[in-house]
Structure 1
Amino acid sequence: MDSQDLSAAFEEHRARLVAVAVRALGSRADAEDAVQEAWLRLERHAHDDIDNLGGWLTRVVGRICIDVLRSRASRAESALEEWTSDPVVTEDVDGPEDAAVAAESVGLAMLVVLESLRPEERLAFVLHDVFAVPFSEIGQIVGRSTDAAKMLASRARQKVQDQPLPTEERRQRREVVDAFLAAARDGDFDALLKVLDPDVAWYRHTAHGHTVRMGANELLAAVRRGDPGRVEARRVSVNGRPGILAWAAASGRPIALMSCTVADGRLVQIDSIVDAARLARMDLPPRHL
């Protein structure tokens, strides 16, 4: 196959390869690097007899991803800490664009759960449950038997299923987020307790990494320390789910972005970005509708 035909054949698979790598690595920049490395390896094997190019490329990208994940683990790094792929933030309205974002994005909450998986579990889960790659191929990628690959995916699936996911329709989730916003503005702590799960998890992504706080009391304490008069906030869509964007009332600069997970009528998880420099460079909705 000449170089032009090889490039054309590769481009037919590029979108899927990037999608696999984004879900495996949680970073579009890392995913693009992985796919580019796959292209370089394909060039080196241009004269080989490759019966199934799509399968071959998936295996190569998978092995590159597993190497990246293992390297992160050995350096105690996290995609959450580096997180080069910013969430998609839009107006919280119903439309095809919003549905596409929800389907294609790796949400903040899911990224947290994926980071808790071992590299082999994470890749096995993504390849099988998201892209329907056979376990026999996954085993080759992660260096395990077919049965061991099934076990890896099963363990990962259980951890993912333990993650609280939205259980209400979008309208109901919006109502919970709006109730939280109103109670925080009014300093109505009784109303806040009604919309917060007692074990709510609050993840804060800062310029220096991320922190985790657990329990409604932690969140209430933060609200008590704040001054509602100095903040303007409204509901937006963060990776296709209802969230909150807050600005400093005086300067109008964005100061916090929150993605909200609602289950059984209460907030069970809040993922927030409070890195001012990062928020300033993101593509965010305007302060006022």
Structure 2
Amino acid sequence: MSDTSPMAPTDPMDPVAEAFESQRDRLRAVAYRMLGSHADAEDVVQEAWLRLSRQDTATIHNLAGWLTTVVGRISLDALRSRQARPEASYDDGLSELVVTLDDGPAPEDDAVLADSVGLALLVVLESLGPSERLAFVLHDLFAVPFDEIGQILGKSTAAAKMLASRARRKVRAIERPSAVGREQREVVQAFLTAARGGDFEELLRVLDPEVKLSVDTPSGVVVTLGATKIAAGAQLSASAATQGRAVLVNGLPGVMSWREDGAPLSVLAFTVVDGRITDIAVVIDPAKLALMDLPEMA
């Protein structure tokens, strides 16, 4: 593919290509937070470049705003398409989970974790409607004015504000800062200890009443809701987890275990809000584990 191809705007003599490259990282970040998939975000950014290459740039007075609008509209179409095809939703992002050994909190890690989009936030965003998600992401994360968001959505400025406000309430009800502190680690450790010892009352104490357990198995994702049901079966999930190592899964406290031959056995990620576990995500499907970039057994 030549350097002049619309898919590779790298010609330093082309001011339009240079301007686009200066915006690429920000556009990719917008698309990723909208779609939760690095591959989909790259596709959106490339499509934005193709549209720009066909546009008379003399008519564009604010390139950054124009590109943000285009990326927002493409992402919105992709989200609406997903709603029509539920099977093509968040599961595609499992291979993008970042799992690292957790050797305890380091002050310099806080900024990195706070700047990342944790698994919890992506899961919350996935539960929003396409219009809510776009309004929240563009305004709250990228400071796009509501009048521009309204134009993308084909709604009034007031309607865009209302959508963002509604989305913000949903996100704040669940999401907390992603840096893993001592309290979160202690809650997870209390859960594992209680599960190993069969302490049903202690399990109920650390589990949110509406906690959700999602287990990704070779046969599909099995979901269990409610503290009582999850506490009753917690001993099974803890037997492997307590033999593993503490890890961070996209910034969330977790546990990973390996088979005797060193192959990954399971990955667990815990979302802790106000001292209680609200979500447990477990991956035991060997095919899914093989797609993830996992640390080797120590």
Normalising TM by the smaller chain, what interval?
0.7 to 0.9
Q: Deviations over 1:21-58 (max 9, x none)?
A: 00001111100000000001110015433211111100
Look up the equivalent residue of 2:269 and give its one-letter code.
S
Distance 2:71 2:241 in 1: 48
Look up the equivalent residue of 1:68 and give its one-letter code.
A
Look up the equivalent residue of 2:146 and give its one-letter code.
F
Instruction: Describe the SS at the equivalent of 2:25.
Output: helix
Are residues 1:159 and 2:175 paired?
A: no
Q: Which residue is 1:94 aligned to?
A: 105
Query: Over aligned residues, Cα RMSD in angstroms?
Result: 2.7
Q: Deviations over 1:176-212 (max 9, x none)?
A: 1122223333444444333223332212334555343
Instruction: Describe the SS at the equivalent of 1:48.
Output: helix
Look up the equivalent residue of 2:133 and give its one-letter code.
R
Q: Which residue is 2:84 aligned to?
A: 74
Contact 1:87–1:239 (8 Å) recurs in 2? yes
Greater CA deviation, 263-272 or 166-175?
166-175
Instruction: Describe the SS at the equivalent of 2:295.
Output: coil
Matches within 5 A, 1:59-70: 59-70=69-80
- Stretches of structure 2 lacking an aligned partner (at least 5 in a row): 1-10
Distance 1:50 1:14 in 2: 17
Matches within 5 A, 1:93-242: 93-95=104-106, 98-163=109-174, 165=176, 170-207=181-218, 209-225=220-236, 228=239, 232-242=243-253
Q: Deviations over 1:143-179 (max 9, x none)?
A: 1111111111111112212225369970111111122
Q: Which residue is 1:18 aligned to?
A: 28
Look up the equivalent residue of 1:31 and give its one-letter code.
A
**Residue 168 and residue 47 in structure 1: after superposition, are their counterparts in 2 closer, same or farther (change >3 A)?**
closer
Identity fraction in percent: 54
> Following TM superposition, by how much is the alpha carbon of 1:106 offset from its aligned partner in structure 2, in angstroms?
2.9
When the two structures are aligned, how many residues end up with a matched partner?
287
Q: TM-score, normalised by structure 2?
A: 0.85
Are residues 1:44 and 2:82 paired?
A: no
Instruction: Describe the SS at the equivalent of 2:21.
Output: helix
- Stretches of structure 1 lacking an aligned partner (at least 5 in a row): none
Are residues 1:254 and 2:264 paired?
A: yes
Q: TM-score, normalised by structure 1?
A: 0.88
